């Protein structure tokens, strides 16, 4: 997939957001007679672990910062071809169609009818008779029932748009992390195979020395044990690598096969080395970029609007209706006889056994649930950033320590091998040194994978993986409420 096609696909996948992202503020103003609750979660002014300087890097396409072309290709294909994203895009279109339906309530409904008949019998009139008619009705939005439905539909559309963005954010991270894991498994598989080659040499040396009477058969059996243990890890690594590659295939919308072939190239690429991120933007700014937080806010707006709709059912309903028509006449004088009427009606709920009052209670409970979900999304976003930042720092430290351990283990194995061949040390010392070398090599690869994974999780937590630069988003309600409390 070429770069132009990838970017076109990205634009296609995000096309559904342009209407949704600005509707939260609109629906907040349109919600009739109901104030939107603000979360009680206090957003801190600064992070606990971050340095004061803000990140200046654009994290919209953070996966390119890993420097792995294969990973970049997988991510951009997933944005275009992932079936979960396709489902979410379709649900966004459903939400947009629902908004069109409820907005139609502002307008009158018109219908036309027509007929033709011919009498038969002794007293039948001659010729063919025609009639035409039209009916119209319009419901006045005196107490906000229609506007409340519109506000709720706008909130639903915004929530679905942000849900699509959040799904893209998560899928991008899943593809990136799965590719990192696949790189790690491929590297460990290469380590196991190269180590097996060395252990084959050790076994052969032990047999020669045993045949020469220099060592007992214990050295041979220990060499066989070590080689068999290493060989047993290879099928397990191959199975894990295949399963990981197949999961990537599903995420990018294709059948298994190609991804595994790409990863298992003649010279497998190393685990990508990400840049270090430090000094994140203020928590309130990060929350503005988190689509899951924005979706929860939009859902609260929608739930609050439904309270107004339920309350409006307890108030009078005014409806205007009218009709116009022609009687059964011939085509020549079709409009000679025209009749019509106009009717204005008012209806008021008197008693329904508490059904409408229960609907109000249900809507209020739904708004409370949406408020709690919004608060939970805020807390979860703050937790994600704090935890991922620590993971990134500690993973970087592990890589540095693992590199030192690998250097020491490599020197130890070289010395043990040369001394054993010279007969200066026993085979147990050689086995211990080479086992430590194998462990150190795998540990370094694991630490590198953890470092790259921590980078992906941190950029996800900071709201990377989707673009909001072209959209005018409303402010985070929690931050606005906190500012209001401070001002008071």
Q: Are 130 and 298 in contact (CB under 8 A)?
A: no
| Interval 204-257: pLDDT, tens | 888 887 888 777 788 888 889 989 999 999 999 999 999 999 999 999 999 999
| Mean pLDDT of all residues belonging to the chain | 82
Per-residue pLDDT at 468 = 58
What strand order describes the sheet that includes 317-326? 109-117, 129-140, 317-326, 338-347
Cα dihedral: 449, 455, 456, 457 (round 10): 100
- Helices 217-251 and 427-461 cross at an angle (nearest 10°) of 10
Looking up tokens 């190393």, which residue turns up? 270
Residue 299 belongs to domain spanning = 3-487
pLDDT tens by residue, 101-114: 998 888 888 888 87
For 347, counting Cβ atoms within 10 Å of its Cβ (0-12 exposed, 13-18 middle, 19+ buried), the class is exposed
| Cβ burial 350-371 (10 Å sphere, 16+ → b, else e) | eeeeeebeebbeebbebbeebb
pLDDT score for 5: 46
- pLDDT on residue 4: 42
CATH number at residue 27: 1.20.1600.10
Domain count, the chain: 1
Q: Which positions of the chain have pLDDT values less than 50?
A: 1-32, 469-488
pTM: predicted TM-score of the whole model, two decimal places: 0.81
Phi, psi of 324 (to 5 degrees): -145, 145
pLDDT at 271: 94
């Amino acid at each position: 997939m070429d770069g132009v096609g990838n970017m076109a696909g990205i634009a296609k996948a995000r096309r559904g957001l342009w209407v949704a992202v600005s509707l939260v503020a609109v629906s907040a103003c349109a919600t009739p007679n109901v104030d939107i609750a603000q979360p009680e979660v206090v957003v801190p002014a600064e992070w606990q672990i971050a340095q004061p300087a803000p990140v200046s890097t654009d994290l919209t396409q953070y996966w390119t910062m890993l420097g792995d072309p294969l990973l970049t290709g997988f991510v951009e294909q997933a944005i275009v071809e992932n079936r979960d994203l396709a489902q979410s895009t379709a649900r966004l279109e459903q939400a947009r169609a629902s908004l069109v339906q409820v907005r139609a309530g502002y307008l009158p409904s018109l219908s036309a009818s027509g007929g033709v008949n011919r009498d038969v019998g002794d007293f039948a009139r001659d010729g063919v008779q025609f009639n035409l008619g039209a009916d119209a009705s319009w419901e006045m939005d005196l107490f906000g029932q229609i506007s409340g439905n519109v506000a709720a539909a706008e909130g639903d559309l915004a929530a679905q748009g942000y849900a699509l963005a959040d799904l893209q954010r998560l899928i991008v991270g899943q593809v990136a992390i799965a590719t990192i894991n696949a790189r790690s498994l491929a590297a460990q598989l290469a380590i196991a195979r190269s180590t097996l080659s060395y252990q084959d040499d050790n076994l052969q040396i032990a047999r020669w020395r045993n045949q020469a009477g220099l060592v007992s058969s214990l050295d041979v059996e220990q060499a066989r044990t070590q080689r068999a243990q290493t060989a047993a890890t290879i099928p397990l690594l191959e199975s894990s690598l295949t399963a990981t590659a197949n999961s990537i295939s599903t995420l990018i919308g294709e059948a298994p096969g190609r991804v595994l072939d790409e990863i298992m190239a003649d010279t497998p690429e190393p685990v990508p080395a990400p840049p270090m991120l430090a000094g994140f933007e203020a928590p309130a700014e990060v929350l503005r970029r988190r689509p899951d937080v924005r979706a929860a806010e939009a859902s609260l707006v929608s739930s609050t609007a439904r309270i107004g709709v339920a309350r409006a059912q307890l108030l009078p309903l005014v409806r205007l209706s009218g009709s116009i028509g022609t009687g059964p006449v011939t085509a020549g004088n079709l409009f000679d006889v025209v009749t019509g009427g106009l009717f204005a009606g008012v209806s008021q709920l008197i008693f329904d056994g508490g059904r409408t009052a229960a609907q109000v209670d249900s809507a209020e409970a739904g708004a409370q649930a949406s408020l709690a979900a919004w608060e939970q999304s805020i807390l979860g976003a703050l937790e994600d950033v704090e935890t991922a930042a620590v993971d990134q720092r500690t993973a970087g430290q592990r890589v540095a320590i693992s590199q030192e351990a690998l250097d020491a283990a490599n020197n130890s194995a070289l010395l043990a091998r040369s001394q054993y061949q010279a007969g200066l040390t026993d085979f147990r010392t050689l086995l211990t040194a080479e086992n430590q070398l194998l462990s150190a090599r795998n540990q370094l690869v694991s630490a590198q994978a953890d470092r790259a994974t921590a980078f992906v999780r941190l950029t996800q937590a900071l709201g990377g993986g989707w673009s909001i630069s072209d959209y005018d988003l409303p402010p985070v309600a929690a931050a606005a409420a906190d500012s209001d409390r401070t001002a008071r």
